[in-house]
């Protein structure tokens, strides 16, 4: 697969998030300026065993003008099977996850654990690159907090194997999502490689965004937790001078649209169960009473959501 420029300069990319970035979630992001998004992380072994939920994740909607697929796993044979299955789908990029720190992923030798097993990572990435009909990329974490050389070795190997771009989260596996982001290691990788490096880690607002760009020299940035419950982050970063934070009515309307789409995707019963955590994300950190999040945890029908949103607007709608 020849390398092509996947993302334009200043691109903001939404990270693939397991359990979140389904079609309904992506539609919410698109309403606020996101142009580059991914499916949820898809396990190659689940595809090899033909788990139907994995194939459901691969469906592309008409709103997905650009859609990437991220694969995770530690089996070369299952990666081969998954790539054969993916020939029936249309993606703009296929990405290999070498950065997920979640124990249930890492203990299987996948995600961030695979990012430290260079030989196996090379074998799996090569299978993806050799069988893809679109560009291939990788998302990884820095390997060692004190020494950039292991990370440089990993990214050079991926470039040699055909990666068109690499996303680097500037924290080690053990740090999960806390602590400082190592801008220097990301910068050194960018200066070493001839392919684009996408900076990732800790971008929650415009100040974080400006800092990671300035310190790493990367003009492409991937967002993750900062956009959870805050799709307006794309608006803020792209239109900072004119951006105004949503009031409670705008917040309620976005929640309503997002959760309605989720219920249309899965059916109301399953959709509402999946939506509880999503509503939590929208509500947290905005100064609302904790009772609203507690109520969101009990939602079973869309009517419950509508009642919650009405009470929220009634209580906070006239506050400055």
What is the rounded CA–CA span in Å between residue 2 and residue 133? Answer: 10
DSSP state of 161: T
For residue 224, give the 3-state DSSP assignment.
Answer: coil
DSSP state of 94: E
What is the rounded CA–CA span in Å between residue 66 and residue 112? Answer: 26
Q: How far apart, in Å, do the first and last CA atoms of the chain sit?
A: 55
Beta-carbon count within 10 A of 100 CB: 25
Q: Which whole-number Å values give the CA distances from 320 to 190, 209, 226, 300, in the listed order?
A: 45, 28, 25, 32
For residue 159, give the nearest of 178, 176, 137 by alpha carbon.
137
For residue 176, give the 3-state DSSP assignment.
Answer: coil
DSSP 50-76: T-HHHHHHT---TT-SSEEEEEE-S-H
Q: Are 34 and 5 in contact (CB under 8 A)?
A: no
Torsion of CA 283, 287, 291, 297, to 10 degrees: 20
Catalytic residues: 100
- Identify each DSSP E strand in the chain by its residue range: 12-14, 37-38, 42-43, 67-72, 93-98, 136-141, 165-169, 197-200, 221-223
């Amino acid at each position: 697969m020849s390398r092509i420029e996947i993302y334009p300069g200043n691109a903001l990319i939404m990270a693939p998030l397991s359990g979140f970035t389904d079609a309904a979630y992506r539609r919410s992001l698109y309403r606020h300026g996101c142009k580059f998004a991914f499916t949820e992380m898809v396990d190659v072994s689940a595809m090899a065993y033909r788990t139907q939920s994995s194939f459901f994740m691969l469906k592309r909607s008409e709103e997905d003008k650009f859609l990437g697929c991220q694969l995770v796993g530690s089996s070369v044979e299952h990666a081969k099977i998954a790539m054969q299955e993916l020939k029936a789908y249309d993606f703009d990029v296929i990405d290999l996850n070498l950065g997920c720190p979640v124990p249930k992923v890492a203990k299987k030798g996948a995600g961030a654990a695979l990012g430290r097993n260079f030989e196996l990572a090379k074998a799996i990435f090569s299978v993806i690159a050799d069988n893809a009909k679109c560009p291939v990329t990788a998302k990884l974490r820095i390997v060692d907090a004190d020494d950039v050389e292991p990370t440089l070795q990993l990214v050079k190997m991926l470039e040699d194997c055909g990666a068109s771009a690499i996303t680097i989260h500037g924290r080690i596996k053990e740090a999960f999502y806390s602590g400082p982001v190592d801008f220097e290691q990301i910068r050194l990788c960018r200066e070493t490689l001839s392919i684009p490096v996408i900076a990732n880690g800790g971008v929650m607002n415009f100040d974080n965004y400006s800092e990671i760009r300035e310190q790493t020299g990367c003009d492409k940035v991937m967002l993750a937790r900062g956009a959870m419950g805050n799709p307006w982050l794309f608006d803020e970063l792209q239109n900072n001078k004119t951006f105004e934070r949503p009031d409670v009515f705008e917040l309620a309307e976005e929640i309503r649209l997002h959760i309605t789409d989720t219920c249309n995707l899965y059916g109301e019963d399953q959709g509402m169960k999946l939506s509880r955590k999503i509503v939590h994300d929208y509500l947290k950190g905005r100064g609302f009473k904790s009772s609203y999040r507690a109520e969101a945890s009990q939602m079973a029908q869309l009517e419950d959501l509508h009642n919650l949103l009405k009470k929220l607007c009634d209580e906070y709608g006239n506050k400055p």
